[in-house]
Amino acid sequence: MENKPALGYIGLGLMGKPMALNLLNAGYEVVVHNRSRQVVQELVERGAREAFSPREVSSRVDIVFTNLPDSPDVEQVALGEDGILSGAKEGLIYVDHSTIKPSLARKIDHEFRAVGAYALDAPVSGGDVGAQNGTLAIMVGGPEEALEKLVPIFNVVGKSITHVGEAGAGQIAKAANQIMVAAQMVAMAELLVLAKKTGADPVRVVKAIQGGAAQCWTLDVKPERLFAGNREPGFKAYMQEKDLKIVVDTAREYGAPLPSASLHTQLYGAMLQMGMENLDNSAVIGVIEKLAATNLLD
């Protein structure tokens, strides 16, 4: 029986923790590190091994995964002092599941290639439920020879694995994903508020349109939660706003006009200003409700 590679996991938040747990449950040795140590201890109790820096993690394993909040965090953990690169041996594979700027993914790839290591940008979609159930969509940019070694591991945490292209391509796919997610969330908010303001039953409106051309994941999953008054995450609004800022920054960098995505970025920015940053991204309906002087549950 082939020996399983030793894995490292850095960033044990809403997504990283369940993904690391799934790898542990699949029989992999996992070395974990996180800024908050409580979650590290939780995973150690489940069989993980503890590390105290990104450098220590990379020096002890064959493959390192990160799941971090934003581009500066990834740059520091991957390339900074005492970072993953500083402990990397030849042949190490670094996989970043964070959502970051494509330009940074390409920079990381270049730096890791220089020491004979691999770097893959592999952002995910599916939210915390997908992370818990191992059903995430994984969008991969980077060298195919490294991806081939990762397929059995990715199959533990995801159900859809797509090699999009070279370094940065996974992040481009995630940006495209977030354009569509935001558009669906805002459109759902608008149609629910329209139904409410015009005196139609929003529950029946959703039921009526789910069987037609408007059918989508968002309408299948989110309205039931909203009708129950549940706006807890899921995927937090401040993360959606962060991802959309990456989208518009990248679009500006490459000269791609994205008028709708730019407007949706402003709506999610308004959520943050209104104190709704930790609610679900579907709670953008709160901004539309405020503008319409109505409430879905009234």
Q: Is 143 in the same domain as 192?
A: no
Placement of tokens 């949706």 in the chain: 264
- Is the preceding omega at residue 234 within 30 degrees of 0, hence cis? yes
Nearest to 43 by CA among 59, 32, 53, 52: 32
The question of whether 174 is a catalytic residue gets the answer yes
Q: How confident is the model over 90-100, as a mean pLDDT?
A: 97
pLDDT at 246: 96
If asked whether residues 45 and 155 sit together in one domain, one would say: yes
What are 277's two structure tokens? 């940053």
Distance CA 3, CA 167 (A): 28
What are the tens digits of pLDDT across the range 260-289?
999 999 999 999 999 999 999 999 999 999
Domain membership of residue 271 (yes or no) is yes
* CATH number for position 187: 1.10.1040.10
Co-location of 40 and 103 in the same domain = yes
**Single-letter amino acid, residue 118:** Y
- The pLDDT of residue 106 is above 70: yes
Q: Is residue 1 part of a domain?
A: no
| Mean pLDDT score of the chain | 96
Q: pLDDT per residue over 137-165, tens digit each?
A: 999 999 999 999 999 999 999 999 999 99
CB 84 within 8 A of CB 119: no
Residue 234 pLDDT: 82
Among residues 166, 200, 227, which one ends one of the domains? 166
pLDDT tens-digit series, residues 197-242: 999 999 999 999 999 999 999 999 999 999 999 999 888 999 999 9
Q: Which residue, of 145, 166, 187, is where some domain finishes? A: 166
Q: What is the pTM of this model?
A: 0.92
The 3 state secondary structure assigned to the chain is CCCCCCEEEECCCCCHHHHHHHHHHCCCCEEEECCCHHHHHHHHHCCCEECCCHHHHHHHCCEEEECCCCHHHHHHHHHCCCCCHHHCCCCCEEEECCCCCHHHHHHHHHHHHCCCCEEEECCEECHHHHHHHCCEEEEEECCHHHHHHHHHHHHHHEEEEEEEECCCHHHHHHHHHHHHHHHHHHHHHHHHHHHHHHCCCHHHHHHHHHCCCCCCHHHHHHHHHHHCCCCCCCCEHHHHHHHHHHHHHHHHHHCCCCHHHHHHHHHHHHHHHCCCCCCEHHHHHHHHHHHHCCCCCC
Domain membership flag for residue 158: yes
Indicate whether 14 and 66 sit together in one domain.
yes
Mean per-residue pLDDT, 110-137? 95
> Active-site residue among 101, 174, 196, 242?
174
At 1 the pLDDT is 40
One domain for residues 20 and 136 = yes
Number of domains in the chain: 2
Residue 113 domain flag: yes
Q: Which pLDDT does position 281 carry in this prediction?
A: 97
**Is the pLDDT assigned to residue 13 strictly greater than 90?**
yes
Which amino acid makes up residue 125? S
- Orientation of helix 169-198 relative to helix 202-210, angle to 10°: 130
The Cα 167–Cα 111 span in angstroms is: 12
Question: How does pLDDT run across 38-80, given as a tens digit for each residue?
Answer: 999 999 999 999 999 999 999 999 999 999 999 999 999 999 9
The band of 128, judged by pLDDT with boundaries at 50, 70 and 90, is confident
Single residue among 135, 166, 197 that ends a domain in this structure: 166
246 and 275 housed in the same domain: yes
Domain CATH number, residue 56? 3.40.50.720
Domain of 280, in residue numbers: 173-292
Residue 2 belongs to a domain: no
Structure confidence at residue 32 as a pLDDT band (50, 70, 90): very high
Length of the chain: 298
Q: How confident is the model at residue 2 (pLDDT cuts 50, 70, 90)?
A: low
CB distance 139 to 164 below 8 Å: yes
